Amino acid sequence: MRAAVYYENGGPEVFRYEEVSDPQPGPGDVLVQVEAVSIEGGDTLNRLQGDLATTPHVVGYQCAGTITSVGDQVREFRSGDRVVTLGLFGSHAELRTADEKFCWRIPDGLSTVEAACIPTAYGTAHDSLFEFGRLQAGETVLIHAGASGVGIAAIQMAKRAGATVLATASSDERLGRLKEFGLDHGINYATTEFVGAVRELTGGNGANVIVDGVGGPTLQQSLGCLAYRGRVVSFGNAGREMTPPLDISTMRGNNQTLVGYFLGAELFLGERARPMIAGLIDDVAKGDLRVVVDREFPLAEAAEAHAYIESRQAFGRVVLIP
């Protein structure tokens, strides 16, 4: 098969498009002909500094396509089924194996490209808002990086749950585009100090729930605009800056909560998250939620696609097509 591989960590330029050995499914695995790869934030971080599980290494968590064969212990799927899959690596290729426990059937009428973008972003958004953020109707939520895949998903879910939705983004143009997904108030973090803006927009109360995938110094600032009994859910480090030691001195007196979140742990260690993601896939198929794909690149242009993501120009998802 052909795959986008690298032999050492580094910038997007480390990618090579080469012929490599086909992956071999185990007894509980499916083999998928990949048709769409959603590039996740973790993919770019792993390329930059993650462990190389194989040499050459095929990076990538998430992709969708059609099953070509199944292991003898697979019970839920068969050859010909369209699925979206998650795995620790291997998505940036023409073929990938995945444990059937980390596969979801794609409903009729939902495109493979859209399905490829759902589990990580939409699962993370849903858990950050509801399972760990405990968002309730009538509360105010602040969503950082509103134009990201998780951001666009979270804005839609928070709005349909009856929340007032605030989000940050790097330009007024991007914030304007988020209005159609349910954004009530946008904050341009390039021109506005967001802590003060959140306080002003909430009459001094602050946000009840903050979804923070940026990390770094932004996480400390998030604590500064949290409401009484507010909850911050931190799930990533998209800003690529080290998070300084956090000052949590104001949290105890305000009965506030800071939660670290990782979707992979929920999938590996419990049964709850898999049906949750299946429900979100159905919601997209029914039109209750929308997936936004900014650009599609050929798999051979993985370097260009990663560079585009890291330029922070994307609005929504960036997809590779083998």
- CA 223 – CA 153 distance, rounded (Å): 23
Scan for tokens 């979707």, then name that residue. 263
- The model carries a pTM of 0.96
Q: Is the alpha carbon torsion for 218, 224, 225, 227 positive or negative?
A: positive
Map out the domains of the chain with their CATH numbers: 2-117+291-321 (3.90.180.10), 120-264 (3.40.50.720)
pLDDT value of residue 240: 63
pLDDT value of residue 243: 67
105 near 74, Cβ under 8 Å? no
In the chain (322 residues long), the average pLDDT of successive 10-residue segments reads 98 98 97 98 94 95 98 96 97 98 97 98 98 98 97 98 97 96 97 97 98 94 97 85 83 97 96 97 98 98 97 95 98
The string of DSSP codes covering 72-100 is TT--S--TT-EEEEE-SS--SBSEEEEEG
56 burial (CB, 10 Å; 0-12 / 13-18 / 19+) is middle
pLDDT value of residue 237: 83
